């Protein structure tokens, strides 16, 4: 997966509490996010909506991979997960994969979606752990 294969920028700094210095670290060592879901799943739509609302200055790329090949509202630009080298292995949805782009290694994942606040807090925690581990 190359940087240009990601669809949109992800920047949850204001919403998930990542400071400017931490956001700069994510730009220097790229981590990308892959949301795997299906178009009819309400939890997938909630996760997609939370991720879309969180875009901004952290500039982490986001790829939305749909297992049925259809857009996951409110994000219209998706790839078909069934043919994607990483997303095709996901069974349950929604799943958010954290990918270290230079090595194309999945370094973490979040399964499920409860509500936007809890979801963004889990993303923040995972990103901070990735930073501490040297990925970002």
Question: Per residue in 49-95, pLDDT tens?
Answer: 999 887 554 677 889 999 999 999 999 999 999 999 999 999 999 99
What value does the mean pLDDT of the chain take? 81
pLDDT value, residue 8: 29
User: For the purposes of burial, counting CB atoms within 10 Å of the CB of 18, is it exposed (0-12), middle (13-18) or buried (19 or more)?
Assistant: buried
Identify the band that residue 20 occupies on the pLDDT scale cut at 50, 70 and 90: very low
User: For the purposes of burial, counting CB atoms within 10 Å of the CB of 28, is it exposed (0-12), middle (13-18) or buried (19 or more)?
Assistant: exposed
Q: What is residue 94's three-state secondary structure?
A: coil
Which tokens in the block code for residue 27? 């730009």
What are the residues whose beta carbons fall under 8 Å from the beta carbon of 28, sequence distance 6 or more? 136
Distance of CA 2 to the CA centre of its chain: 15
Q: Domains (ranges, CATH) in the chain? A: 30-132 (3.40.30.10)
Mean pLDDT of 113-118: 95
């Amino acid at each position: 997966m190359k940087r240009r294969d990601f669809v949109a920028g992800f920047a949850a700094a204001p919403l998930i509490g990542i400071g400017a210095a931490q956001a700069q670290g994510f730009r220097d060592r790229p981590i990308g996010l892959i949301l795997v879901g299906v178009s009819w799943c309400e939890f997938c739509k909630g996760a997609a909506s939370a991720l879309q609302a969180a875009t901004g200055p952290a500039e982490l790329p986001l790829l939305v991979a749909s297992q049925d090949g259809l857009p996951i509202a409110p994000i219209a630009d998706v790839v078909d997960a069934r043919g994607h080298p990483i997303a095709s292995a996901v069974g349950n949805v929604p799943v958010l994969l954290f990918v270290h782009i230079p090595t194309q290694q999945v370094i973490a994942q979040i399964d499920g979606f409860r509500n936007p606040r809890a979801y963004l807090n889990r993303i923040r925690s995972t990103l901070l752990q990735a930073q501490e581990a040297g990925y970002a």
